[in-house]
Amino acid sequence: GIQVEQSPPDLILQEGANSTLRCNFSDSVNNLQWFHQNPWGQLINLFYIPSGTKQNGRLSATTVATERYSLLYISSSQTTDSGVYFCAVVNSGYSTLTFGKGTMLLVSP
């Protein structure tokens, strides 16, 4: 099956810093989603982005499908950004999400 690798596995930031999270995948995809799992365990949809670039406030994401990677940018990080960020993809020919192992982000005040 498709492999999804996220980097870095852990990230510690000071409040106000910027960061870039990366997601590499091993095959072509029809769907790519970024999620934030907050400290209470909720999975929050951030972006549905099988290709191109999207922005939502301080967050933006870019997927280059031909090169099989996606990037999530967090600018001016806040403590509420802490949690685990997951990238998940749907391989062409399938319909279920395959998740990466996540990036654990801690933003300290």
Partner 1 sequence: DTAVSQTPKYLVTQMGNDKSIKCEQNLGHDTMYWYKQDSKKFLKIMFSYNNKELIINETVPNRFSPKSPDKAHLNLHINSLELGDSAVYFCASSQEWDPSYEQYFGPGTRLTVT
Binding site for partner 1 (CB under 8 A): 29-31, 33, 35, 37, 41-43, 45, 48, 50, 84, 86, 88, 90-99, 101-102
CB nearer to partner 1: pick between 28 and 60: 28
Strand, helix or coil for residue 16: coil
CB nearer to partner 1: pick between 30 and 55: 30
Q: How far is the CB of 84 from partner 1 (least distance, A)?
A: 6
Strand, helix or coil for residue 59: strand
Q: How far is the CB of 41 from partner 1 (least distance, A)?
A: 5
SS3 content of the chain, % helix, strand, coil (to 5): 5, 60, 35
Classify the phi-psi angles of 6: left when phi > 0, otherwise alpha if psi is within -120 to 50, otherwise beta. Answer: beta
CB nearer to partner 1: pick between 31 and 62: 31
Which residues is 90 bridged to in the sheet? 31
